[in-house]
C-alpha cells in the first residue's frame, strides 16, 4: 500500500494538540485544510483516529497504538535525509525557531545573536515564548528547533542536555540610605521587593529556595521581565533578587549595586532540549554546538 507521508506530521500534531484548530495553527494550515487532511488520514489508516469532544478531539485506541510507530518512522526518515545534507553556516540561509525562558532571553540570547551575526550572517532566529508547557513551544513535535531553560518532565522524544548552573544575587540602588557593604537577613525580610512575573520555571526555583531558607520577603512591585527589575530598583528603595548572569551585566550600571544575598539561595540549571529527530541533522548539530559554546563562554567567571 502507498502512504501519503505528508499526512504523518498532521497525525503527530493532532495527537499532541488534541485540537484541530491548534494543530492547524502549529502547522501553518487553515482549519478547513486540517479537516480535509484528517479525512484523508482516516481513509488511509482505516480508522476514525480522533473523536470530537466538547473541548477538542481524543485519539482512538488505534491512534494511540500508531502514535509511537509514526513518530519513530518520521525520526528515521529525518535521520536518513538530513544526515546526507551538508551545512555551511557562513552561506546557509535558514530560520531557526528557539524557545528560551525569560532568563535565557535576557541573559544569554544577546551573546548568541552576536555570534550568529559574526559567523552565520544569513541565518535568522525567531524566539518563541517558553513558560511552563513544552508542548506549546512546538519542540515536542519538532516544529521548534529547541527550548532553553529549566526542563521539567520531558517526554521520551526529547533529548535534554545540561549546559550550566546559575545562582542569585541582590540588587539595590547605588545610594540606598540603609544598605552598606552587605545585606543582612533582617534587612532582606523588612525591605520591599521587586518580583518578576510570569516567572515560569524560575518561580519554582527562587520561591523554593526562599522557603528552604525560611526567608520571607514582601513583594511591592511585580514586573514582566528580568531587566525591568533594575529600572524599578534604581528609582526606589526596593530590592531585587536576580540570577547572577543578569547581575553581572548590572555591575556596570552606576545607578545600582549588586550584593550577595544574605543566605545561600542555591542554584538552578540551564538546559537545552530538542526533538530526537534532529540528532543527525548537520544544521541542528551546528546550532547545538553554537548554543553550548556561547553559554560556556559567558558562564565562565569574569
Summarize pLDDT for 180-211 with one digit per residue, the tens. 889 999 999 999 999 988 644 445 667 777 77
Q: Kindly list the strands in the beta sheet with 168-173, ordered across the sheet, starting from the edge strand earlier in the chain.
A: 218-223, 192-196, 239-243, 168-173, 256-260
Q: What's the angle, vertex CA 286, arms to CA 283 and CA 290, rounded to 5?
A: 140
Q: What SS3 state is found at 275?
A: strand
* Distance linking the first and last C-alpha atoms of the chain: 62
Which three-class secondary structure state does DSSP give residue 222? strand
Domains of the chain: 5-82 (1.10.10.10), 95-163+269-299 (3.40.190.10), 168-266 (3.40.190.10)
d(CA 278, CA 203): 30
- List, in sequence order, every residue forming a beta bridge with 243; answer none if it has no partner: 168
How many residues does this entry show for the chain? 302
Within 8 A by CB and 6+ apart from 174, the residues are: 234, 254, 255, 256, 257
pLDDT of residue 190: 92
- Write the pLDDT tens digit of every residue in 230-265: 999 999 999 999 999 999 989 999 999 999 999 989
* pLDDT value of position 1: 55
- What's the confidence (pLDDT) of residue 29? 84
Q: Is the pTM of this model over 0.85?
A: no
Give the integer Cα–Cα distance in Å for 102 and 196.
10
Ramachandran quadrant class, 259 (left: phi over 0; alpha: psi -120 to 50; beta: rest): beta
d(CA 45, CA 158): 26
Give me the residue label for grid cell 553581572. 248
At 261, list the grid cell. 544575598
Q: Tell me the per-residue pLDDT of 97-112, one tens digit each, with 9 for 90 and over.
A: 999 998 999 999 999 9
Q: Which three cell numbers stand for residue 35?
A: 479537516
Q: Which residues contact 212 (CB under 8 A, 6 or more apart)?
A: 266
User: Are the beta carbons of 286 and 87 closer than 8 angstroms?
Assistant: yes
Q: Is the pLDDT of residue 120 over 90?
A: yes
Residues 139-169: tens digit of each pLDDT: 887 888 999 998 988 888 899 999 999 999 9
Amino acid at each position: 500500500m502507498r502512504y501519503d507521508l505528508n499526512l504523518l506530521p498532521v497525525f503527530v500534531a493532532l495527537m499532541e494538540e488534541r485540537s484541530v484548530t491548534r494543530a492547524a495553527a502549529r502547522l501553518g494550515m487553515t482549519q478547513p485544510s486540517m479537516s480535509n487532511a484528517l479525512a484523508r488520514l482516516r481513509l488511509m489508516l482505516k480508522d476514525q483516529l480522533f473523536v470530537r469532544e466538547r473541548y477538542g478531539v481524543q485519539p482512538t485506541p488505534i491512534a494511540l497504538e500508531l502514535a509511537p510507530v509514526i513518530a519513530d518512522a518520521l525520526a528515521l526518515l529525518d535521520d536518513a535525509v538530513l544526515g546526507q545534507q551538508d551545512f555551511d553556516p557562513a552561506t546557509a540561509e535558514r530560520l531557526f525557531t528557539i524557545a528560551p525562558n525569560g532568563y535565557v532571553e535576557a541573559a544569554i540570547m544577546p551573546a548568541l545573536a552576536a555570534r550568529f551575526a559574526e559567523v552565520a550572517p544569513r541565518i535568522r532566529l525567531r524566539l518563541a515564548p517558553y513558560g511552563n508547557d513544552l508542548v506549546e513551544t512546538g519542540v515536542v513535535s519538532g516544529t521548534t528547533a529547541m527550548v532553553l531553560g529549566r526542563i521539567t518532565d520531558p517526554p521520551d522524544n526529547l533529548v535534554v542536555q545540561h549546559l550550566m548552573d546559575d545562582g542569585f544575587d541582590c540588587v539595590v540602588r547605588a545610594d540606598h540610605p540603609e544598605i552598606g557593604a552587605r545585606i543582612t537577613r533582617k534587612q532582606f525580610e523588612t525591605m520591599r521587593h521587586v518580583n518578576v512575573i510570569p516567572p515560569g520555571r524560575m518561580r519554582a526555583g527562587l520561591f523554593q529556595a526562599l522557603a528552604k531558607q525560611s526567608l520571607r520577603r514582601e513583594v511591592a512591585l511585580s514586573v514582566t521581565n528580568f531587566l525591568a527589575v533594575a529600572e524599578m530598583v534604581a528609582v526606589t528603595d526596593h530590592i531585587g533578587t536576580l540570577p547572577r548572569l543578569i547581575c553581572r551585566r548590572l555591575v556596570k550600571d552606576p545607578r545600582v549595586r549588586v550584593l550577595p544575598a544574605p543566605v545561600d539561595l542555591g542554584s538552578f540549571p540551564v538546559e537545552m532540549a530538542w526533538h530526537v529527530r534532529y540528532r543527525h541533522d548537520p544544521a541542528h548539530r551546528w546550532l547545538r554546538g553554537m548554543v553550548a559554546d556561547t553559554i560556556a563562554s559567558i558562564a565562565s567567571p569574569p
